[in-house]
Amino acid sequence: MLDQRLLRDNPELISQQLGRRGMAVDLTGPQLIAQQQRNLEEQRSNLQAEGNRVGKEVGLRIKAGADPAGAEVKELREQGNRLKQQVAVLEEEEKSLNLRLREQLLSLPNLPSAETPDGKSEADNLEIKRWGTPRQEEGLQEHWQIGERLGLFETERSVRIAQSRFITLLGQGARLERALISFMLDLHASKGYTEVMPPILVNSASLLGSGQLPKFAEESFRCAEDDLWLTPTAEVPVTSLHRDEVLPADQLPLKYAAYTPCFRREAGSYGRDTRGLIRLHQFNKVELYWFVRPEESAAAHQQITADAEAVLEALELPYRKIELCTGDLGFSASRTYDLEVWLPGAGAYREISSCSVCGDFQARRASIRFKETKGTQLVHTLNGSGLAVGRTMAALLETGQRPDGSVALPAALVPYFGAEALTPPA
């Protein structure tokens, strides 16, 4: 959420930065509410100060010999009560204005960082680097063809169980998914991350804190009888792991690697990636999440991205690193690197990780601060996929496919899977 003080004192900056995202926003209403709120706060503060003065005056008069039940003291006490009533009225008005302003601010995205390149769409994203040599041959199969041939997953029966865009992993497919999750968590743990397995059901406050609500309500699955939603990403529960907390400064940075199943409606994506593991309503993901001091935020963004890249490199999967332009940024992000893995069968790079720095945007929504000798301030948060497991499996299947129908696995994964290759059924 954006800073109310910035809205009140420099709305032109907000309009300019949101304009970089391609948004034309009229901030007249929210700015007026913010100014009214400040005026009420000043009035309330003055009345409270006057009430404190009257209270002290009562004590001084009595100490000087005035009758506690006399007219002089009674009049002062009545004056004090009137001031308290006026303060209570102003507090209710402030509360109402705060709620109205918060509702309007919650719908505004984060401001892009100065380093984020300007652009209108993904066509304006910048390629930063490439790693590995993409496999390019005629006749390579796509992962869904390989999966069906090897009996790794079942699609049609999954529709019977749930609906389209769900998949059931079987045999070697289920074992490979489990191996990838363990491999990713172990790799991140070796780099100092604390492993987390949070609740899959999250409440509305958690979605609000991370930025999914109110904007992305239609993208999420909700439990009709409870204030609970199926988490779209572990970013949501991990943000709220420290919601409404003040963290000791010496605990920072906090680094978490969280595994969760994730659930998304994928609204508006019908007709895209309808086969295989790329775009499902339910998928597994290992998420990286940092809580840091503001001055450590930029360096942490480079590191969390490098940690996601390390998974791809350990699995010998060629990829490219893309910096998103302002027009392609996610709602809560101020700067983002996407990692796109090469899929030889499809002959294309596909996103497998998005690593973002969010500044204090999520921390303000979720009220997460840290304490130093000079007081408290908001932490900065960062998140990145480390990695999306299904898409990693898709890349492994297409990269490791061999003429005999088997699929070679990278050496780093062999101890987790228990074999050097996936083999066709007998």
Provide the annotated active-site residues: 264, 279, 351, 354, 391
Asked if 273 contacts 142 with a C-beta cutoff of 8 angstroms, the reply is no
Question: Helices 389-400 and 143-150 meet at what angle, rounded to 10?
Answer: 80
Asked if 195 contacts 184 with a C-beta cutoff of 8 angstroms, the reply is no
Q: Beta strands 368-372 and 375-378: pairing type? A: antiparallel
Half-sphere exposure of 153 (CA within 13 A, CB side): 24
What CA–CA distance (Å, rounded) separates 410 from 414? Answer: 7
384's CB contacts (< 8 A; 6+ apart) are: 287, 288, 304, 305, 307, 308, 353, 354, 355, 356
